[in-house]
Amino acid sequence: MEVITALYEAPFNINGPIRIEHRQEGYYVVGEGMCIGVSSYREGLQMVKNWNSRTTVPMGGAAR
């Protein structure tokens, strides 16, 4: 399990699905092995939306 600890806060669990977490010092988009600080909840929602709408192409296949 990968964990990142912020000052004076409980650690971030960066495993699992991408999501927004709010901490005393701000908002973070965490999950899928990453932790990114964002300036607002709205910015976090946009990042999650963009991440989830990525087009993935299966090996040997074409995008639909």
Q: Kindly list the domain boundaries of the chain, sorted by start residue.
A: 3-52
**Running along the chain, 64 residues long, what does each successive block of 10 average in pLDDT?**
60 91 92 93 95 68 52
4: its two tokens: 């990142």
Closest CA to 42 of 25, 58, 22, 60: 22
At position 9, the amino acid (one-letter code) is E
CA angle (15, 32, 10) in 5-degree steps: 40
**pLDDT number for residue 46:** 95
Q: What is the CA radius of gyration of the chain?
A: 14
